Amino acid sequence: MIEVTGLRRAFGNRTVLDGIDFTAERGCVTVVIGPSGSGKTTLLRGLNALDAPDAGQVRIGDAAVDFGALPSGRGEARRAIARLRAQSGMVFQNHNLFPHRTVLQNVTEGPVVVQGHARAAAEREARELLDRVGLAGTEDRFPFQLSGGQQQRVGIARALALHPEIVLFDEPTSALDPELVGEVLAVMKQLASEGWTMVVVTHEIRFARQVADQVLFLDGGVVAERGSAEQVLDHPTQERTQRFLTRILDPQ
């Protein structure tokens, strides 16, 4: 389902990703952890080419891009990236909803404008998705009328409306008040139980223990440790991983 090989990204003289490799089968939940600046978000944005890597290959489903050998024609390169990007839906850290559009309009924007679906059908499915994430009855509200947790759940519904092969989550609870975190994680746990293929960047270690099929610990742009949730979170072998987890779990 997901195959990443040799992914590299640099900004000027600073190397952010330095040869990332990982695979994930269909239905696998991959949780990515690591300190700030370790390349977690850059990796996530590289998977759907929102921030195109400098080199390396990404394959999601039947779409693949070799970023070090993109087609020479600009249109052909754009089409290759568009095919890859169409495989995923992304949930951003700060919601990224359209403030001037209603909840329903936010969820139907992608299916109608990008994918060309009929609006009536898109609206029916959007209402069903909003009900699934606990937001039935909010269709005509605007983002400013919702709590941060509700806005993030709209973001999840918007991502699912695209029928992606995988769902990418970029620290989806980090901008929320503590009392709102649980409602977002509950929806994500439900998606995991339904068999969605997910890649999640998060500091929510308890959530990772509950749902992750594999955990990647990034440090300095490389995968410093990988394995099951039990292996990486409860029995890390690398001293750097141990220090990171101690700081996260016991900040005092």
Are 64 and 28 found together in one domain? Answer: yes
Q: What is the pLDDT of residues 96-124, one digit of tens each?
A: 899 999 999 999 999 999 999 999 999 99
Give the three-state DSSP class for 4: strand
Are 2 and 83 found together in one domain? Answer: yes
pLDDT confidence of 252, banded at 50, 70, 90?
A: low
So what's the pLDDT on residue 184? 94
Radius of gyration of the chain from its Cα atoms, rounded to whole angstroms? 18
So what's the pLDDT on residue 41? 95
Range of the structural domain that residue 79 is part of: 1-87+166-172+179-252
So what's the pLDDT on residue 251? 62
CA atoms of 127 and 137, how far apart (whole Å):
9
Stretch 4-16: mean pLDDT: 95
Edge-to-edge strand order for the sheet containing 222-227? 88-91, 166-170, 197-201, 29-33, 214-219, 222-227
Are 9 and 77 found together in one domain? Answer: yes
Q: What is the pLDDT of residues 23-80, one digit of tens each?
A: 999 999 999 999 999 999 999 999 999 999 999 999 999 999 999 887 666 788 889 8
Residue with the two structure tokens 């490799």:
21
pLDDT confidence of 126, banded at 50, 70, 90?
A: very high
- Which amino acid, one-letter code, is at 81? I
Ramachandran area for residue 56 (φ above 0: left; ψ -120 to 50: alpha; else beta)? left
117, 139, 163 — which closes off a domain? 163
Token code pair at residue 135:
């937001």
Q: What is the pLDDT of residues 133-176, one digit of tens each?
A: 999 999 999 999 999 999 999 999 999 999 999 999 999 998 88
Are 104 and 119 found together in one domain? Answer: yes
Q: How many domains does the chain have?
A: 2
CA atoms of 49 and 224, how far apart (whole Å):
23
CA atoms of 102 and 22, how far apart (whole Å):
38
Are 145 and 197 found together in one domain? Answer: no
So what's the pLDDT on residue 29? 97
Q: Count of CB atoms within 10 A of residue 238's CB?
A: 13
Are 234 and 117 found together in one domain? Answer: no
Are 73 and 184 found together in one domain? Answer: yes
Is the pLDDT confidence value at 209 over 60? Answer: yes
Q: What is the pLDDT of residues 178-200, one digit of tens each?
A: 888 999 999 999 999 999 999 99
